[in-house]
Structure 1
Amino acid sequence: MLIVRSLLFNVAFYANLVLWLVLLFPGLLVPPRVFMQGVKLWGRSSLWLLRVIVGTKIEIRGREKIPPGGALVAAKHQSFHETFTLVTILDDPTYILKRELMWIPLFGWYLWKAGCVPVDRKAGSLALVQMTARAKEEARHGRQIIIFPEGTRRPPGAPPAYKYGVAHLYQNLGFPCIPVALNTGLYWPRRQFIRRPGTVVIEVLDPIPPGLPREDFFKEVQERIEEASDRLLAEGQRELGLVPSSPSEASLSKAG
């Protein structure tokens, strides 16, 4: 049944995505904040499909910790799940993302309309300057700038691989940073079509106020996100019956 439900969900998910790509097209003519309301509806419809077809619910913890106005949101990245879920829980979010995504027909137009901040990875230090300028402009308009500090999806329990882009943004934006921990990769594994029933947890952690030295912030944001994500990983493993039976297995799980 897990395979059947996963297959049904994937078909429904991508059919729903295509439907919203069509429905959102007129949104290119409205203000960005209005357009983002349509994107939020797509995100909520995807979560509804996941709950109804697979039985995967979601619990958002710490929502009350999100400060009003502009902020930098540094989130753990394990799955495609959080890329649309975070949009539904933030007031006016946008993303730091690789520039190539903006070139995709139709989809790239929507990313442009949403005010996403592209990064040209081939531009070296100039890319950081351009990214920071755009992100600062969006944050000044009260938007939450979402960045995945590791740059790509990492499997649950994998050793952290944070990049300094998040510290550069924090140092130059002058806004609080909201760390986000999660265990989505257990229920929506990367590069797999399997979707597991249970309760995904996304936890908003205490904001880090602006003004910390760069290295202190870089260490702090990693420690907070990793400690909380490890706790949520263990919680999810218990729910799914994946708890290692011996310390040696636990070490292997953490390494891999």
Structure 2
Amino acid sequence: MKYAIQWLRSAFYEIHVYLMMAVIGIAFFPWALVSPKGARVACMTYARYAIWSLGWMTGVKAEVRGTPPTDEVLIAAKHQSFLDILMIFAAVPSGKFIMKRELMFVPFIGVYGYRIGCVPVNRGKRGQAIRKMVSDVAKGLTAPGQLIIYSQGTRTAPGVKMPYKVGSAVLYDQLGQDCVPVATNAGLFWSRRGIYKKPGTAVVEFLPRIESGMRKNEFLSELEVRVETASDNLMREAGFDVDNHNA
């Protein structure tokens, strides 16, 4: 019975949070069309509302640890859930994502993503897209802010090990910016698939920055160690048996 009630609460949240995406998207649309600031205010409003309502509707609380950056940096994050997207974006002042090009054609997400400076990337053409993005930044065509990339390229379920892709290292090298790694355990509470939301405290943790200047292969190795170690620790803290899961 307890599981059934929680599933119903989760289902209600799932329906309502996407309806609110439409409501907020429509309400802010005129401002977003004329000003990137309007688009950013809309996205921030939605992210904060989604996180707040998640807490009282499903019992999933959100906690941000560490110091979110406010300067121009590369953020290389672990990606387990839609929730970590919301939490990271809400924690920084000018976040913009490297995102799958297909998302640019999704209602509201596409227009708002473009207006806040997100960079669409073609599947299978990631290197070409990254080169174009670096070129756009150099020409001043992309607004300054915190560029967020998911180093494994996709959502990974808790405890699943996937390689870190070279895109993060290429950006780190060519942009010449510091990198702030981000760990998370959000997938334990809001999974990649399904509706059910498990009550508890989802955490994203901003780790100490990796200063610019490392070689690409050294950077990628250091990034993976830091993010995977911290994410495993967060999952253990939440009661997930990382060691046996990986055995």
Question: Is 1:138–1:145's contact at 8 Å kept on the other side of the alignment?
Answer: no
Aligned to 2:116: 114
CA contact (8 A) 1:167 1:217 kept: yes
SS at match of 2:181: strand
Query: CA 1:12 to 1:124, structure 2 compared with 1: closer, same or farther past 3 Å?
Result: closer
Quick check: 1:203 aligned with 2:195? no
Deviations 1:59-81 (A, max 9, x none): 11102xx3432100001000010
- Deviation (angstroms), 1:176: 0.7
Note closer, same or farther for the CA distance 1:18–1:106 as it changes in structure 2 (3 Å cut).
closer
Separation in structure 2 between the aligned mates of residue 91 and residue 152 of structure 1, nearest angstrom: 24
Paired with 1:123 and 1:254, the residues of 2 have a C-alpha distance of 31
Deviation for aligned residue 1:105 = 4.3
Q: Determine if the alignment matches structure 1 residue 57 to structure 2 residue 49.
A: no
What is the CA–CA distance in structure 2 between the aligned matches of 1:228 and 1:139, rounded to whole Å? 35
Rate the CA distance shift 1:67–1:112 in 2: closer, same or farther, 3 A: closer
Matching residue of 1:74: 76
Q: 1:243 to 1:225 in 2, by over 3 A?
A: closer
Give the aligned partner of residue 246 of structure 2.
Answer: 254
Distance 1:201 1:148, change over 3 A: same
| 1:21 corresponds to | 25
Q: 2:46 aligns with which of 42, 49, 61?
A: 42
Residue 125 of structure 1: how far off its partner (Å): 3.9
* Aligned counterparts, 1:124-139, within 5 A: 125-135=127-137
Question: Mapping of 1:207-246 within 5 angstroms?
Answer: 207-237=209-239, 243=241
Q: TM (normalized to structure 2)?
A: 0.91
- Cα displacement (A) at 1:160: 3.0
Contact 2:25 2:42 in 1 (8 A): no
Letter in 2 for 1:43: A
Aligned equivalents of 1:151, 1:109: Cα separation in 2: 22
Q: What is the CA distance between 1:46 and its match in structure 2?
A: 0.3
C-alpha contact (below 8 Å) 2:70/2:92 kept by paired residues: no
What is the deviation of 1:243?
Answer: 4.6
Distance 2:69 2:140 in 1: 16
Partner of 1:98: 100
- Aligned equivalents of 1:49 and 1:174: distance in 2? 38
- Partners of 1:177 and 1:208 within 8 A in 2: yes
User: Given that residues 102 and 112 in structure 1 are in contact (C-alpha distance below 8 angstroms), is that contact kept between their aligned partners in structure 2?
Assistant: yes
Q: CA deviation at 1:138?
A: 6.9
Q: CA deviation at 1:136?
A: 5.2
Match of 2:16 in 1: 12
TM superposition shift of 1:19: 1.0
Q: Distance in 2 between matches of 1:216 and 1:139?
A: 30
| Alignment partner, residue 247 of structure 1 | none
Q: Structure 1 stretches (4+) deviating beyond 2 angstroms?
A: 27-31, 103-107, 120-128, 131-142
Distance in 2 separating the partners of 1:29 and 1:233: 41
Q: Which secondary structure does the structure 2 equivalent of 1:91 belong to?
A: coil
- Alignment match, 1:123: 125
Letter in 2 for 1:204: F
- 1:131 corresponds to which letter in structure 2? M
SS of residue paired to 1:180: strand
Question: Matched residue of 1:160: which SS?
Answer: coil
Q: How far apart are residue 22 of structure 1 and its match? A: 1.1
Query: Given that residues 32 and 38 in structure 2 are in contact (C-alpha distance below 8 angstroms), is that contact kept between their aligned partners in structure 1?
Result: no
CA RMSD of superposed structures (Å): 2.0
Aligned to 2:89: 87
User: Matched residue pairs, number?
Assistant: 243
What's the secondary structure of 1:24's corresponding residue?
Answer: helix
Superposed CA deviations along residues 154-201 of structure 1, whole A, max 9, x for unmatched, are: 000111321000000000001110000010000001111110111111
Structure 1: give runs of 5+ residues left out of the alignment.
245-249
Q: Within 1, Cα distance between the matches of 2:185 and 2:114?
A: 29
In 1: Cα distance, 2:69 partner to 2:141 partner: 13
